[in-house]
Amino acid sequence: MKFLGTLLLLVLVAVAVAGYVIYIPFGPNAETFVDITPGTGTQAIGAQLEKSGVIRNKYGFDLLRELKGGTLKAGEYRFDHPAPMTEVYARLVKGDVYTRALTIPEGYNIFDIAQAVEAAGLGSRDAFLSAERQHIELIEEWRSPTTGRPESLEGYLFPDTYHFSRHTTPEQMLTAMVRRFRQVSTQLGITGDVARTVIMASLVEKEVSQDAERPLVAGVFVNRLAQGMPLATDPTVIYAAILENRWRGTIYASDLQSPSPYNTYKHAGLPPGPICNPGTAALKAAIAPAKTDYLYFVSDAAGHSRFSAGLKEHAEQVQAYRQMQKTQQR
């Protein structure tokens, strides 16, 4: 009887210790990251969590694995408060990995996005750019009969805020952004030559910031195309310089003379591809451009656009714009 009593006491002590280890909160008060690589076994995960100060004891973690079961997910986890081991374990089963926010504003081009990816700690700029040129198959369904095979995913990386883990590959990020474009384009009812619509939307996105003016700008471009006039839009000249790694922060005469197919001062028609990634308002404008007789537009002092149908009126508005700039510089 004495032996059984001692054994029972030992069992009760063991249960109490296990309960303490598993159910009493423990862990860091400051932000702590634990990166569990794919293929790591349960015992190794427990040891890693114990070493990082997230759990009291790795053996308690092994015991919990026997009791709870489930598959532990690899990834980077963030811990910032003491918690029961059961909570830690549940997070690993759920795959509640730490993600980083990546915000892509309307009008960002592929180079801007690649820089944002690197700034968010999600990978290198060069690796992202290499991947977005490599995985053209992501937009194969929108290949244009007029522009042919695109050279990059420019235009189809939809502006939004994304959340990615540090282990997300460039291809997975690109797939998510293209998937978001597909959702929006379906909602907007974009059909026909989708590539042409996206190119037009990218020009509108870079030319004007006022949503109400976007259809008017799209209408100007449509009118110029119909008359065989060059679009003569500065953002395409800037993009051409960026592609050739010669953008110096301002447009020079040599930029306007560039033979690049993106130079819409030298070449009539739309450029061969988008010059940025347009948002919803610009896409809507490209789908439904305003029907006017306008052929020109220029900014005014308030940051809005002034439209005109004739060259004489446009020249007067350009002169007023330049005068405004001189006044602001004084």
Which has the closest alpha carbon to 153: 205, 111, 209, 206? 111
Q: Residue 12 pLDDT > 60, yes or no?
A: no
In 10 A of CB 142, how many CB atoms? 20
pLDDT of residue 10: 54
Tokens of 67: 């009791």
Give the pLDDT mean for 24-41: 92
Q: Does a structural domain hold residue 76?
A: yes
- Rounded Cα gap, residues 79 and 178, in angstroms: 32
The tokens describing 104, both together, are: 């892509």
124 within domain boundaries: no
Structural domain range at position 80: 22-97
In a domain, 80, yes or no: yes
Cβ density class 86-120: b for 16+ within 10 Å, e for less: eebbebbeeeebbbbebebebbbbbbebbebbeee
User: CB-based burial of residue 224 (10 Å sphere; 0-12 exposed, 13-18 middle, 19+ buried)?
Assistant: buried
pLDDT category of residue 8 using cuts at 50, 70 and 90: low
> What does the pLDDT look like over 136-179, one tens digit per residue?
999 999 988 776 678 899 999 999 999 999 889 999 999 999 99
pLDDT at 322 over 90: no
Say if 91 falls within a structural domain.
yes
79, 124, 176, 177, 247 from 121: Cα distances, Å: 18, 8, 17, 18, 26
Q: Rounded to an integer, what distance in angstroms lies between the CA atom of residue 139 and that of residue 125? A: 21
Assigned domain for 49 exists: yes
Cα distance between the two ends of the chain: 101
Report in angstroms the alpha-carbon separations of 4 from 13, 244, 269.
Answer: 14, 84, 93
CATH of the domain at 79: 3.30.1490.480
| Per-residue pLDDT reduced to its tens digit, 66-107 | 888 899 999 999 999 999 999 999 999 999 999 999 999 999
Read off the pTM. Answer: 0.85
Rounded Cα distance between 177 and 279, Å, is 12
In a domain, 225, yes or no: no
pLDDT of residue 153: 98
What is the Rg, in whole angstroms, of the alpha carbon atoms belonging to the chain? Answer: 29
Q: Which helix (H) or strand (E) holds 64?
A: helix 58-68
Both tokens of 192, joined, read: 């026909």
The answer as to whether 175 is a domain residue is no
CA distance 307 to 296: 6
**What is the model's pLDDT at position 314?**
73
Domain total in the chain? 1
Whether residue 103 is contained in a domain is answered as no
Give the closest residue to 275 by CA, choosing from 157, 122, 127.
157
Give the largest Cα separation in the chain, rounded: 112
Rounded to an integer, the average pLDDT of 8-32 is 71
